[in-house]
């Protein structure tokens, strides 16, 4: 199996205080029902993460107030929506979202299969994000969306970088046996 890494990808590091993993099988539900499931899953994750900060002093130096379940919900929901939107519809594998909570960061991983036809365009976009200025890219994408109504704009990823100072990374796992390509998207938030 060939592995390709883009951006700031953290596979796993020891010392997490807590973790949670949820698996969703998109072929079980209609698209409309899957979108509702994304919101429910994001709500659950946000509420779950928030319980670790009840009664804790807020870190005012952190780029994201982790105590704000809205930020966690936004990121979890965006990751799930992207996974559903770009999942290989022939795949019978679960879309998995997980998070690991550390003393100084929260790391999300979302894993799903992608169609090999979409990978080249996706990698070009990822290189643009990695090498470009997130603020400029965000502004340019906003303008392009206003004109073109582009549904694959990447605004969610850029918003995570601009609004929450998130570090993003991607891992592609390519099988030698003509299997779907597995993509893991990682978002790291300092807390």
Instruction: Give, for all 191 residues of the chain, the pLDDT tens digit.
Output: 799 999 999 877 666 677 889 998 877 766 677 777 888 899 999 888 888 776 666 655 554 555 567 889 999 999 999 998 888 888 888 999 998 988 888 899 999 999 888 889 999 999 999 999 999 999 888 888 778 766 557 889 999 999 888 999 999 998 877 778 999 999 998 87
Expressed as residue numbers, the domain containing 120 is 2-190
Can you give the pLDDT at residue 39? Answer: 86
- What is the number of structural domains in the chain? 1
CA distances, 168 to each of 10, 53, 113, 154, 180 (Å): 9, 24, 18, 12, 22
The C-alpha atoms of residue 67 and residue 57 are separated, in whole angstroms, by 9
The whole-number pLDDT of residue 191 equals 78
User: What is the structure's pLDDT at 181?
Assistant: 93
- Residue count of the chain, please give it: 191
Q: Tally the C-alpha atoms within 13 A of residue 164's C-alpha that lie toward its C-beta.
A: 28
Q: How far apart are CA 28 and CA 43, in angstroms?
A: 21
Task: Please answer whether residues 76 and 42 qualify as being in contact, where contact means their C-beta atoms are separated by less than 8 angstroms.
Answer: yes
Which pLDDT belongs to residue 169?
97
**Of residues 171, 169, 167, 157, the one with CA closest to residue 189:** 167
Please say whether the beta carbons of 64 and 189 come within 8 A. Answer: yes
Q: What is the pTM of this model?
A: 0.88
Q: Contact at 8 Å (CB) between 66 and 103?
A: no
């Amino acid at each position: 199996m060939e592995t390709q890494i883009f951006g700031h990808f953290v596979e796993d590091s020891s010392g997490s205080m807590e973790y949670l993993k949820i698996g969703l099988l998109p072929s079980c539900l209609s698209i409309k029902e899957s979108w509702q499931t994304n919101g429910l899953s994001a709500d659950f994750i946000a509420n779950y993460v928030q319980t670790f900060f009840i009664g804790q002093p807020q870190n005012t130096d952190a780029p994201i107030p982790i105590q704000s379940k809205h930020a966690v919900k936004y990121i979890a929901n965006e990751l799930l929506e992207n996974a559903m939107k770009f999942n290989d519809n022939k795949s019978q594998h679960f879309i998995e979202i997980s998070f690991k909570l550390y003393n100084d960061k929260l790391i999300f991983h979302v894993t799903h299969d992608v169609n090999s036809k979409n990978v080249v365009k996706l990698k070009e976009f990822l290189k643009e994000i990695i090498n470009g200025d997130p603020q400029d890219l965000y502004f340019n994408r906003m303008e392009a969306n206003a004109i073109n109504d582009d549904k694959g704009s990447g605004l969610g990823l850029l918003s995570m970088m601009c609004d929450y100072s998130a570090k993003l990374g991607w891992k592609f796992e390519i099988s030698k046996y003509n299997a779907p390509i597995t993509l893991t998207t990682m978002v790291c938030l300092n807390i």
